[in-house]
Amino acid sequence: MINKERCSFIFLLILAILDQMNASLFSVDFTYSSLSFVSHLCFCGCILVVSHEKSLNRLLYACLCGLCVGLFFTSDWFFKMILFGLFGWLSGLFKNAMDQDHWVQFALVFLMMFINDLICFLGAKLFGYLTMSFVKWFIHVEALTLIFNGAWIFVLLYIITVFNRYATIKNIRFKRMEKLHMQNIRRK
């Protein structure tokens, strides 16, 4: 039987490392003279993974994910923990809609990612870390971020769907084996 929690943890760890790799390879141009993007693979993966969990579970999973990413990969652990937790919990509210169609799932994750970026931008603006206009930020950073991560959401959806199917098949086989084993014991 597959340990889903462990696999999800490894999956999210890989995504966090990929985020860091993207950040190293395609670093953001803070002069805003050219287009740049920010990789949100771990955030999107986290939303997709925890959306089917129970209310408190998804909040805790998402908080832990945000905390680990913030602590080990970046330095904004508290902020990340709150945001991951918030969006992780919110994703469960649209669970029924997300189960119906992949497009709805994509749209919700995409929207949450955009709102997450928007909150970060507004927060930075509010505290005086950023002085640039919304339009300039959107054109130079957010546009490419949405395109890049939008494409990756499909890839993540595909991976999660394939993994879920594989886990279901494994579980069925495991239960069947267990049943046969029990029958053999009874016969004896």
Partner 1 sequence: MRKFTRIQKRLLTIIVVLCILACAMFGLRQNSITNIGYSAWTYLKYGLIQYPLSSIGNAVNDFSNLWHAYDDNEYLTKQLAQQKNYQTAYEDERNKNKQLEALLEMKGGLGDAKTISVSVLERSGDSWLQTVTISAGKKQGVEKNMLVATSDGAIGLVDSVQTVTSTVQLLTSQHLNNDIAIKMSLEDGTSVEGVLQSYDTEKKAYRVSLFDNDAIVTKGQKVATSGKGGNYPSGILIGEVKDVSLNDDSIISTVYVSPVSNMKSFDYCLVIGKEESK
Decide if residue 94 touches partner 1 (CB under 8 A). Answer: no
How far is Cα 52 from Cα 81, in angstroms, rounded to an integer?
A: 19
**Binding residue for partner 1 (CB under 8 A) from 57, 94, 104, 124?**
57
CB atoms within 10 A of CB 12: 22
**Binding residue for partner 1 (CB under 8 A) from 3, 6, 25, 103?**
25
Structure token digits, residue 86? 């918030």
The closest of 79, 90, 104 to 157, measured between CA atoms, is: 104
Structure token digits, residue 65? 């994910």
Which of positions 63-82 make contact with partner 1 (CB under 8 A)? 63-64, 67-68, 71-73, 77-78, 81
Decide if residue 5 touches partner 1 (CB under 8 A). Answer: yes
Decide if residue 185 touches partner 1 (CB under 8 A). Answer: no
Decide if residue 32 touches partner 1 (CB under 8 A). Answer: no
Candidates 18-26, 92-100, 155-163, 169-177: pick the segment binding partner 1 (CB under 8 A). 18-26
Q: What is the CA radius of gyration of the chain?
A: 20
**Binding residue for partner 1 (CB under 8 A) from 2, 7, 60, 120?**
60
Decide if residue 154 touches partner 1 (CB under 8 A). Answer: no
**Binding residue for partner 1 (CB under 8 A) from 17, 28, 162, 180?**
17
In angstroms, what CA-CA distances link 125 with 11, 52, 121? 33, 34, 6
Decide if residue 122 touches partner 1 (CB under 8 A). Answer: no
Range list of H helices, the chain: 4-25, 41-50, 55-68, 77-93, 95-100, 102-126, 134-137, 143-187
Per CB under 8 A, residues contacting partner 1 are 5, 17, 20-21, 24-25, 56-57, 60-61, 63-64, 67-68, 71-73, 77-78, 81
